[in-house]
Amino acid sequence: MEQEFQKLANFRDLGGLKGADGKAVRKKRLLCSGELSKVTEDDIKTLKECYHLYNIVDLRTKNERNGAPDIEIPGTVYHALDFFQGEDDGQATGSAEQLQQMQSKEQVDRKMKQLYASFVVSTGARQKMYELLQLLLNTEKGSTLIHCFAGKDRTGISAAAILTVLGVSKDDIVADYLKTNQLRKKENEELLGQLRAAKVPESMLEAVHEALCVRREYLETSYEAAEQKYGSFERYILEGIGFGQEKWVQLRDMYLE
């Protein structure tokens, strides 16, 4: 059973998912969450003592990191891997600012699908994904916590790539991805309450609520883009990200049991 956190949203341990050769993903090795800008001393204690936290991988943009920096956790190594460094300002990134600017459900759907396709076609995103996978190969013990703002989009596609390498089925990957809608329920309601208090239009509230949730079709957009460009999601990892087959074997040896 996963530990409770006071100020760390959308936390989950990917351990226990069924991977290749009938083995399971090791527990307390691969963690996902929202940003660490508000974690409490008790949260930090839990991460260090229960999960043996070693790496923190922050997928947010420079502006996001400057606006809400992660609280420093002694004894950990911090890595900033901005998927969209140097990209156009209009690029969908899944940031808090962009999510709160959504005006309609149609705009949300369009932006989200643009974002999930960009994970596959963007050179910058593929390079950072390679760096993330390589980082995992270089981490012999302890856990790695991967996060963005909400822990759902950039973190979601990262988890999908990692779990694919580990041999987890697509259905199980999607099921884990969809957990966000329950794990962020409290935080989403708080944010919507703030917007409601600010008298934003109801249509915008509906749009922001939609933007804060995940849908299977968003992740499917990444799979479809990978199939169109590379033939499959696996080939996207092998060729697009450049994470070769021998490294798949190494990662499985390290993260499956």
Q: What digits encode the pLDDT tens for the residues 108-165?
A: 899 899 999 999 999 999 999 999 999 999 999 999 999 999 999 999 999 999 999 9
pTM over the 0.85 mark: yes
Residues 107 and 197: their CA atoms lie apart, in Å, by 23
List the helix and strand counts (H, then E) for the chain.
13, 5
Mean pLDDT of all residues in the chain?
A: 93
Task: Please check the confidence at residue 204 and state whether its pLDDT lies above 80.
Answer: yes
Nearest residue to 154 via CA among 133, 172, 128, 193: 128
pLDDT on residue 84: 86
Domains delineated in the chain: 12-255 (3.90.190.10)
Side-chain-side CA neighbours of residue 119 (13 Å): 30
Q: What is the DSSP letter of 52?
A: -
Beta strands 30-33 and 53-58 are unpaired
Backbone φ, ψ for residue 198 (5° rounding): -85, 5
